[in-house]
Amino acid sequence: MTTKIAHARKLCHTLGLFGTLVVGASSAVAQQTPGTSFVENFDKLDRSVWYVSDGWNNGAHQNCTWSKNQVNVDGGVLHLSFTDGQSKDRKYLCGEIQTKKRYGFGTYEARMKAATGSGLNSAFFTYIGPSDKKDHDEIDFEVLGKNVAEVQVNQYIKAKGGNEKLVPVGSKADDGFNDYAFVWEPGRLRYYLNGKLVQDVTDPSKIPTNQQKIFFSLWGSDTMPGWMGKFSYTQPTTLDIERVAYTAPGDKCQFPESIACTLN
C-alpha cells in the first residue's frame, strides 16, 4: 500500500470513529485485554467476537459503502461481497469484519479465496490506529484485482509503510483457496503462503509492536488504477474465508495444518 493510501486509511479510521465505536462502551475494557488462541471455522458469525462494518466507508479512495448485508456465512464459509447498490454517495456495497479484541505476538492464519475484478482489494490484515487511541500499526496480505496471481505483503509502524513485497501465489488467488499466514514475534515477522516462507523481516524498526485487531475486507476503488488496477465492475463477487486462527506464543497449534505446528 502506498503512503497516500496509508494516510487515507489512518484518516478514515479517525474520521470513521463512529463506525468502530458503535461496538459500545461495554467492549472497551475487553479490547484492552489481549485475545487468546482460537480457531474460527465460520459455522456461524459470532457477533460477540466479530464487529461487522456498516454504513460508512474508509474515505474518498473507496467507492463502496460497508454494508452488513454483504457479510454472511453459509456452509462453513464466510462471504464478503462486492455488489452494486446505492448507499449515500457510493454506487457500490462491500463487506468487512474485524475482531472486537486485540491480539499481540503470535501466529495468524487464514484460508481464503480472493474476489474477482480489477480495482478490487481482498484483504486479510491486522490493524490498530487513532480510532483506538493508538499509533497506526498494520500487517497485511492484500490480493489486488489487477493481478490475482500475486499477493502483496506489507506492514506499517506508526503509520510508516514502504515495506511492500509482491509474492507469486502459484495460481490465481480467485480460482481456489490458499493459506495465508504470518508469525509475529519481537524482532521478527515472517510471512507464509501455502506453507512456504515468502518474506522474513528482522529489522525491528520495520516490525509493529502494538496489539491489533484482525480484519477481513473486500473493497473497491476507481481512483487508484496504478495500485489496484482500473476499476471494471461487471458482476457481484465475493471474498470467501474458510478459516482464521490465532495461536499465542507457547500455545499448541490450533488445527493440524497450522504453521504453528511446525515452527521451531
Kindly report, residue by residue over 152-210, the tens digit of the pLDDT. 999 999 999 999 999 999 999 999 999 999 999 999 999 999 999 999 999 999 999 99
Count of beta carbons in the 10 Å neighbourhood of residue 26: 7
- Distance of CA 8 to CAs 5, 116, 131, Å? 5, 24, 13
Is residue 262's pLDDT more than 50? yes
Structure confidence at residue 216 (pLDDT): 98
Structure confidence at residue 24 (pLDDT): 37
Structure confidence at residue 33 (pLDDT): 74
* Catalytic status, residue 150: no
CB 215 within 8 A of CB 227: no
Domains and CATH numbers, the chain: 3-261 (2.60.120.200)
C-alpha span between 135 and 128 (Å, rounded): 7
Q: Which residues contact 29 (CB under 8 A, 6 or more apart)?
A: none
C-alpha span between 142 and 145 (Å, rounded): 9
The alpha carbon of 171 is separated from its chain's Cα centroid by a whole number of angstroms, namely 21
Is residue 213's pLDDT more than 90? yes
C-alpha span between 250 and 234 (Å, rounded): 47
C-alpha span between 105 and 199 (Å, rounded): 17
Catalytic residue selected from 40, 96, 138, 257: 138
Say which range, 26-40, 122-136, 157-171, has the weakest mean pLDDT: 26-40
* Catalytic status, residue 142: yes
Structure confidence at residue 34 (pLDDT): 81
Ramachandran angles phi, psi of 223, nearest 5°: -120, 0
The confidence band for 30, taking pLDDT boundaries of 50, 70 and 90, is very low
Is residue 13's pLDDT more than 70? no
Ramachandran angles phi, psi of 204, nearest 5°: -55, -25
Structure confidence at residue 32 (pLDDT): 60
What is the percentage of the chain residues whose pLDDT exceeds 90? 85
CB 213 within 8 A of CB 99: yes
CB 216 within 8 A of CB 82: no
Catalytic residue selected from 40, 142, 150, 242: 142
Is residue 234's pLDDT more than 50? yes
